[in-house]
Amino acid sequence: MADAELHRIPARDGTGLVLRRRPLQAAIDALPASLPALLRRVYAARGVGDADALSLDLARLPDFRQLADIDAACDLIEQALTADQRILVVGDFDADGATATALAVHLLRAFGARQVDYLVPDRARHGYGLSPSVVAAASEFAPELIITVDNGIASHDGVTAAHALGCRVLVTDHHLPPPELPAADAIVNPNRKDCPFPDKALAGVGVIFYVMLALRARLRDRGWFREQPEPVLADYLDLVALGTVADVVPLTHTNRVLVAQGLKRIRRGRARPGIAALAQMAGRELNRLVATDIGFGLAPRLNAAGRLDNMALGVECLLAAHAHGADSAALVLEQLNAERRERQSQMQDEALTSLAALDLGDAGLPSGLCVHQADWHEGIVGLVAGRIRERYHRPVVAFARAGAGGLKGSARSVPGVHIRDVLANVATAHPGLVDKFGGHGMAAGLSLAAHDLDRFRDAFAIEVDRWVTPAMLDGIIDTDGALSGDDFSLDTARALREGGPWGAGFPEPAFDGEFRVLDQRIVGERHLKLTLMPAEGGAALSAIAFNQEHKVGERIHAVYRLDVNRYQAMDNLQLVITAIA
């Protein structure tokens, strides 16, 4: 199969695959010869073409002075510190918002602020962002400066309400701005059209980290630290790594530096108690933690608070100064996450049943799907949308009830379909249909009246049709080609594991190939454990396919990644299969 050429692998049971092997985007020869050959190939396929691009030192970070409004932001916080004003951090109810809130509170206190509080909106009562209802709740703290983290870029009414209370507002956010910015006293967002900062992919926690970098430089110039210790901002990179990976922002070079440096500190035993407690609950070893452990272990537990309860619990876990308080909070988060999994599974089954029951005639499944049940939980619909998107390979919006006569939707998209722009076009073409919307290219949220659901469903499908090509709906799986011989080794798996951080925009290496099935059995009720032999021969390999409840035939074509499976203090090579034909 040639690089970048689509290859369709049929299967008698209909579980065929459409594969595309990643082409090289940089010259392998320019990469250090000391790297394993396979890792050089993987890097070149991700556009890494020289040693500089591999460097993940903090010195490689872009300069904070390139952020628009960064001086005005520092002015606001410096004035609040100097006058001993009351500062309120307003966060968001996901892991990015929780880590950004904790980071801001930690560092403002470290800079000497004595009156710092935080407020995380309640998803059901307040909605998203700095809404007027959030400002009303914030008034109980009598703040003189509100700092938003991971939200606020579209909060026109909330900023106006805060000003009416005599409170200044600093917005720090990373979401795409609306055509007109709110009238905040300062707005730091790399996605502002007038912002020259070179990396537009920072998470919310990354933006507030950069603001704190700039503030420390300002205070250092003012002689602020002559009478108190100067905080070491690198000590807070564990929070930045957690929030960045959890928010699934593209791992551009800047984000890879932030995540890699945060992971380095976690592995060295310098994680704050809350992160250590989350890792313990997830069964992850801190000294071996990688980005995928955050994405699949820590982040879901932290996010569970914002989905089913209140993210204040997650923030308290991250702010805990001692293990006892962190462990108590992490235990509650573990229980919430177990409840989340159960409810998500039920909602997914209901969504799949409703789609299977559609009478589509000859038209086939729409390019854009909308699913809804009256009793769905609005904190979980985004996860359901993501699962349905994975199953049907097309943009999905899942809706839940939100107050009297309203619906809140969470959208997930496929590469090539910018879901926020899709919603913007629907809103423009149908004035009054969409109440509010916002988000990114791959994920977005919206609200509308319940009686408009059918009208939105039709408008959404028509708009998505304008974006998609048939290939986008095929569920194409990108791989790094085939492995053979010595590539199937524990050393290779370790090199790939350490070669990250891997994540969105810098995907973990995945390979494909044919195998003979020597043995198979269902474990844990819904996972398929296999013993495989490469088609060209070699040693038998241990493999597992998660959420694969049915056995397969004697011969398979599989997409897989090499994994280091630790069992009874021993490392073993294991293939983690992500797709089977």
CATH code for the domain of 413: 3.10.310.30
Same structural domain, 468 and 518: no
Same structural domain, 311 and 371: no
Q: Is residue 349 part of a domain?
A: no
Same structural domain, 528 and 448: no
Does the structure show a pLDDT above 90 at 480?
Answer: yes
CATH code for the domain of 484: 2.40.50.460
Same structural domain, 192 and 283: yes
Contact 295, 539 (CB under 8 A): no
Q: Is residue 348 part of a domain?
A: no
CATH code for the domain of 307: 3.90.1640.30
- Among 447, 474, 501, the domain-final residue is 474
CA atoms of 247 and 256, how far apart (whole Å) = 14
Task: Supply the pLDDT for residue 241.
Answer: 98
Same structural domain, 73 and 187: yes
Q: What are phi and psi of 477, to 5 degrees?
A: -110, 120
Same structural domain, 196 and 327: yes
Helix (H, G, I), strand (E, B) or coil at 571: strand
pLDDT tens profile 405-438: 899 999 999 988 999 999 999 999 999 999 989 8
| Structure tokens that stand for 123 in this block | 């998803």
Residue type, 18: V
Confidence label for 360 from pLDDT (cuts 50, 70 and 90): low
Q: Is residue 161 part of a domain?
A: yes
Same structural domain, 275 and 393: no
Same structural domain, 467 and 481: no
Confidence label for 516 from pLDDT (cuts 50, 70 and 90): very high
Same structural domain, 18 and 122: no
Q: Is residue 57 part of a domain?
A: no
Same structural domain, 159 and 191: yes
pLDDT tens profile 74-94: 999 999 999 999 999 999 989
For range 55-60, the mean pLDDT? 96
For every residue of 448-498, DSSP letters joined together read EEGGGHHHHHHHHHHHHHHH--GGGGG--EEE-----GGGSSHHHHHHHHH
Domain count, the chain: 3
Does the structure show a pLDDT above 60 at 207?
Answer: yes
- Among 454, 474, 494, the domain-final residue is 474
Domain that holds residue 459: 358-474
For range 12-37, the mean pLDDT? 85
Q: Is residue 178 part of a domain?
A: yes
Does the structure show a pLDDT above 60 at 3?
Answer: no
Q: Is residue 1 part of a domain?
A: no
Same structural domain, 456 and 486: no
Same structural domain, 285 and 407: no
Q: Is residue 273 part of a domain?
A: yes
For range 55-65, the mean pLDDT? 96
Q: Is residue 530 part of a domain?
A: yes
